[in-house]
């Protein structure tokens, strides 16, 4: 069964509409813009958005396991494994055996990781301010409300496609 929705925002949207009329295309473009700005601003630190999120989560919950980290930053576990591998190789995170389950390895941010996180986090915040700066305070609130509604509708990732 295929569902077709008509939106008041773009009542004439159809398969032949211009790409700029498709909300999904515009969201993808916005994501590209934000990631490019993030990369440009954080390049000296060498931390991707996913690595930054993992470092924050590890700092907020010392000793969390990889599955919990994946849930906390809303990623599939295979992607998180690669992120953790890269952070560990750089000495930013360490893995230790769980005291409760020897099969589980828990994650801890290192002193070097905490230092890097403290340096890069203000830059990440600046990118967020830059992103929202064209909007008025009321538009920011409306945008944030709509964005949360759309994201909450999507749920959490079930696999690599997220």
pLDDT tops 60 at residue 7: no
- Beta-carbon neighbour count of residue 88 at 10 Å? 15
Q: Return all residues near 6 (Cβ < 8 A) that are at least 6 apart.
A: 13
Nearest of 151, 104, 60 to residue 162 by alpha carbon: 151
- Beta-carbon neighbour count of residue 68 at 10 Å? 16
pLDDT number for residue 154: 77
The per-residue pLDDT for range 27-60, each reduced to its tens digit, is: 999 999 999 999 999 999 999 999 999 999 999 9
Higher-confidence residue of 156 and 148: namely: 148
pLDDT tops 60 at residue 161: no
Query: What's this model's pTM, rounded to 2 decimal places?
Result: 0.81
pLDDT number for residue 11: 60
Nearest of 74, 80, 102 to residue 93 by alpha carbon: 80
In the chain, the domains with their CATH numbers are: 34-149 (1.10.10.10)
The per-residue pLDDT for range 81-114, each reduced to its tens digit, is: 999 999 999 999 999 988 888 788 999 999 999 9
pLDDT band at 10 (very low <50, low <70, confident <90, very high): low
């Amino acid at each position: 069964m295929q569902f077709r929705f008509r939106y008041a925002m773009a009542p004439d949207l159809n398969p032949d509409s211009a790409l700029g009329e498709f909300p999904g295309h515009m969201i993808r473009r916005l994501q590209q813009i934000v990631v490019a700005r993030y990369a440009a601003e954080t390049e000296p630190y060498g931390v991707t958005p996913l690595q930054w999120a993992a470092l924050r989560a590890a700092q907020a919950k010392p000793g969390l396991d990889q599955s919990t980290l994946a849930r906390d930053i809303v990623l599939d576990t295979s992607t998180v494994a690669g992120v953790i591998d890269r952070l560990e190789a750089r000495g930013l995170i360490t893995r230790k055996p769980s005291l409760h389950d020897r099969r589980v390895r828990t994650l801890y941010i290192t002193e070097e990781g905490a230092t890097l996180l403290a340096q890069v986090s203000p830059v990440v915040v600046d990118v967020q301010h830059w992103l929202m700066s064209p909007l008025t305070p009321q538009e920011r609130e409306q945008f944030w409300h709509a964005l949360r509604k759309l994201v909450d509708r999507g749920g959490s990732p079930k696999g690599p496609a997220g």
